[in-house]
C-alpha cells in the first residue's frame, strides 16, 4: 500500500517558472490538504479539498492553485514561482466526514527551491 505519493521529491526552479507538485493517494480518503513547512514555523495550510470537485483556501493560498478532479489526485500549481515559495511542501489526506480534520496521513514531501 503506497498511501500518499508526492512528486517530485526535490526540485530547483527559476523564479517566474510554472510548477506543479503532484499528489496521489490510494486510500480513498475524502479530504486532502497541501501544507508548506518552513524552519521555525508550524505547518501552514495552503489549500484543502473536503471532497472531489470542491476546494478551499487555507492560511497562505496566494500564488498557489489546486484542483480536485477525482478522489485520488490533488495537484498544487505555482503559476509563477517566487523565492519566498522556497519550502518543503507536504500533501496529506484524511478520512473524515465529521467536519474536523481527523488523523492526517502525509506524503514524503517535496522540497522546492526557487532561485
Partner 1 sequence: GQNIDQPTEMTATEGAIVQINCTYQTSGFNGLFWYQQHAGEAPTFLSYNVLDGLEEKGRFSSFLSRSKGYSYLLLKELQMKDSASYLCAVSPGDYQLIWGAGTKLIIKP
**Interface contacts to partner 1, rule CB under 8 A:** 31, 40-45, 48, 50, 56, 58, 90, 96, 99-109
Indicate the helix (H) or strand (E) that contains 65: strand 64-66
Q: Minimum CB separation from partner 1 for residue 114, in Å?
A: 20
Residue whose C-alpha is closest to residue 58's, from 90, 81, 26, 25: 90
Judged by beta carbon, residue 15 or residue 59, the one nearer partner 1 is 59
Judged by beta carbon, residue 58 or residue 75, the one nearer partner 1 is 58
Q: Minimum CB separation from partner 1 for residue 54, in Å?
A: 10
Q: Minimum CB separation from partner 1 for residue 50, in Å?
A: 5
Give CA angle at 113 (19, 89), nearest 5°: 70
C-alpha cell, 107: 506524503
Q: Minimum CB separation from partner 1 for residue 4, in Å?
A: 9
Judged by beta carbon, residue 80 or residue 97, the one nearer partner 1 is 97
**Backbone phi, psi, residue 96, to 5°:** -120, 130
DSSP 40: T
Amino acid at each position: 500500500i503506497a498511501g500518499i505519493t508526492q512528486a517530485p521529491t526535490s526540485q530547483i526552479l527559476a523564479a517566474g517558472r510554472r510548477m506543479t507538485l503532484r499528489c496521489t493517494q490510494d486510500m480513498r480518503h475524502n479530504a486532502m490538504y497541501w501544507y508548506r513547512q518552513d524552519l521555525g514555523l508550524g505547518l501552514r495550510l495552503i489549500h484543502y479539498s473536503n471532497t472531489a470537485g470542491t476546494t478551499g483556501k487555507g492560511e497562505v493560498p496566494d500564488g498557489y492553485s489546486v484542483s480536485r478532479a477525482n478522489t485520488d489526485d490533488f495537484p498544487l500549481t505555482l503559476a509563477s514561482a517566487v523565492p519566498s515559495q522556497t519550502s518543503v511542501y507536504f500533501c496529506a489526506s484524511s478520512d473524515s466526514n465529521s467536519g474536523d480534520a481527523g488523523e492526517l496521513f502525509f506524503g514524503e514531501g517535496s522540497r522546492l527551491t526557487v532561485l
